[in-house]
Amino acid sequence: MRFLLIIATLTICTWTNSAAARQTLESRVLSLAEDVREVMESDPRVMGQSLALGQFDGEGDASNSNFGLQIASQLQAALSSLLVEKSNFTLAGSYHYLQSEDVASPHSKVLVITAQIKDARGREVKAISIEINDVDSIYQALGLTGSATPNTTTATEADFRNQAAQRDHEKPTFEAVSTRIAAQNAPQWAVGILRKPSFDGPTSPITPQNVNGLAYTTIEVNEYYEIELVNNDSSDAVATVTVDGLDVANTFCVDKDLNGKLIRWPGYYVPSGKTVTIRGWLHTVDQTIGDNIFSFRVNKLGQGAATALKTRGKVGVITVQFREACEPGQKLRKGRVKGATEKGETAKGEGLQEKLEAKPIQIGNQVLSTVSIRYNRP
């Protein structure tokens, strides 16, 4: 059972991974953070020193994804006791989409994150690299569009899905559903972008353009927008929404549990046959607090929040991943992993008010469809 946050007809959820062999982004970045901490505690060159956190940039085949903020955000949370604003030592790095070095998966490609500890002169003290083979993480990090299809081959499920990710990266494509877009052969899960002139102004749909197989929309630097989530499948769904790699439901959320720890909401509940509109970054589900949603604006991520972030990169990326969902006690029909043991950026704008509600729900452990839309920054 997972706990969800419902925004009107919308729900945010959390889940756990059941496939031990999957190296997810979250688990591997935590491992990377542990390795960095070990170096800082044992290497005499940096022992007792603090670190300033720098940028993580996509390079090579990952250069058009703008996911570095998410990597830095996770490292910042895991290494908060070591990090300061200014230091003689910096932690920064890059991420790539490369052939795996795992001899058991010679044809697989993985996300490789390399973190470098450098001194004040830019000289490398230590470089640490990790591989991420989880296909759902790869789709999200690279801003791909694609859907899960039945494995009718003799390949393992992991190899089959990895090959699908490689095809979706090498030859990107999408399906237009009116003004919305969906993955090929999965039109039931679609995403649309609504432009508006002011944070509380009227919306109008933007028809995406096909640029070398990638979906692009044009949003001007001072414009606002909303994100439509469409579920025309026979099953309910939970959608995880990221903008430039940052989770819309969690990056600027201040909700805490009874122990004072930040709650992590993993997605928005989209009932079967319904369309849900995400108006902005979640601030809180507490109805007694005004402006519990920060509107999306193309200039600064989370504008209006104490933790607002500067945008980076020439291309903004909005990515939505749909998973199956159902009420507790009911049976999930899809989304199970076969062999489970195996030119502007979006800112946080003016505040909005939404009616939110928490609700328990079950969520499938595999993404059914990933949809990504890019927009140029001025």
* Residue 167 resides in a domain: no
330-353: average pLDDT:
51
Please tell me whether residues 180 and 129 are part of one structural domain. no
Please tell me whether residues 310 and 335 are part of one structural domain. yes
What was the pLDDT predicted at 328? 80
Helix-strand-coil percent breakdown of the chain, rounded to 5? Answer: 15, 40, 45
For residue 98, give its domain range: 23-133
What was the pLDDT predicted at 140? 96
What was the pLDDT predicted at 355? 63
> Read out DSSP for 261-304?
PBP----EEE-TTEEEEE-EEE--S-TTSS--EEEEEESEETTT
The count of structural domains within the chain is 2
Mean pLDDT value across the chain: 84
Which stretch of 11-15, 58-62, 142-146 has the lowest confidence by average pLDDT?
11-15
Residue 296 near residue 226, CB atoms below 8 Å: yes
* Residue 83 resides in a domain: yes
What was the pLDDT predicted at 357? 66
What was the pLDDT predicted at 64? 85
Element (H, E) at 243: strand 236-243
Please tell me whether residues 378 and 327 are part of one structural domain. yes
Write the CB contacts of 81 (distance below 8 Å, at least 6 apart in sequence): none
The number of CA neighbours under 13 Å toward the Cβ of 201 is 14
* Residue 216 resides in a domain: yes
What was the pLDDT predicted at 20? 33
Please tell me whether residues 127 and 60 are part of one structural domain. yes
Q: Pick the closest to residue 378 from 226, 218, 246, 245 (CA basis).
A: 218
Please tell me whether residues 118 and 247 are part of one structural domain. no
Q: Pick the closest to residue 137 from 251, 279, 247, 262 (CA basis).
A: 247
Please tell me whether residues 207 and 286 are part of one structural domain. yes
Q: For residue range 286-296, list pLDDT tens digits in order.
A: 877 777 888 88
What is the pTM assigned to this prediction? 0.86
Range 288-316 burial, b when 16+ CB lie within 10 A, else e: eeeebbbbbbbbbbbbbbeebbebbbebb
Q: For residue range 180-227, list pLDDT tens digits in order.
A: 999 999 999 999 999 998 888 899 999 999 999 999 998 887 788 999
* Distance (Å, whole) CA 18 – CA 366: 10
**Phi, psi for 183 (deg, rounded to 5):** -75, 150
* Residue 146 resides in a domain: no
Please tell me whether residues 369 and 324 are part of one structural domain. yes
Task: Check whether 347 has a pLDDT greater than 60.
Answer: no
Q: How confident is the model at residue 372 (pLDDT cuts 50, 70, 90)?
A: very high
Which stretch of 47-56, 130-139, 153-162, 307-316 has the lowest confidence by average pLDDT?
307-316
Q: Pick the closest to residue 91 from 63, 61, 47, 55 (CA basis).
A: 55
- Spell out where 23-165 has E strands: 52-58, 90-99, 109-118, 124-132, 146-147
Residue 300 near residue 68, CB atoms below 8 Å: no
Write the CB contacts of 286 (distance below 8 Å, at least 6 apart in sequence): 255, 292
> Residue 161: left (phi > 0), alpha (psi -120 to 50), or beta?
alpha
Q: Pick the closest to residue 194 from 221, 214, 219 (CA basis).
A: 219
Q: For residue range 224-236, list pLDDT tens digits in order.
A: 899 999 999 999 9
Which stretch of 89-93, 207-211, 267-271 has the lowest confidence by average pLDDT?
267-271
Which stretch of 5-9, 278-282, 286-290, 358-362 has the lowest confidence by average pLDDT?
5-9
- Residue 307 or 326, more confident: 326
- CA trace torsion 106, 372, 345, 206 (10° rounding): 160
Where residue 35 sits, what CATH number does that domain have? Answer: 3.40.50.10610
Long-range contacts of 172-176 (CB under 8 A, 24+ apart): 172/144, 172/145, 172/212, 172/213, 172/214, 173/145, 173/213, 174/145, 174/208, 174/210, 174/213, 174/214, 174/215, 174/371, 176/208
Q: Which of 133, 163, 185 is the last residue of a domain?
A: 133
* Residue 142 resides in a domain: no
Please tell me whether residues 122 and 188 are part of one structural domain. no
What was the pLDDT predicted at 51? 97
* Residue 150 resides in a domain: no
Task: Check whether 73 has a pLDDT greater than 60.
Answer: yes
What was the pLDDT predicted at 273? 96
Q: How confident is the model at residue 255 (pLDDT cuts 50, 70, 90)?
A: confident
Task: Check whether 113 has a pLDDT greater than 70.
Answer: yes
Please tell me whether residues 35 and 1 are part of one structural domain. no
* Residue 358 resides in a domain: yes
Q: How confident is the model at residue 133 (pLDDT cuts 50, 70, 90)?
A: very high
Element (H, E) at 196: strand 186-196
What was the pLDDT predicted at 17? 37
What was the pLDDT predicted at 13? 44
- Residue 341 or 330, more confident: 330
Residue 229 near residue 276, CB atoms below 8 Å: yes
Q: Which of 133, 168, 199 is the last residue of a domain?
A: 133
Q: Pick the closest to residue 254 from 263, 245, 242 (CA basis).
A: 263
Task: Check whether 71 has a pLDDT greater than 50.
Answer: yes
DSSP annotation of 3 reads E
Task: Check whether 309 has a pLDDT greater than 70.
Answer: no
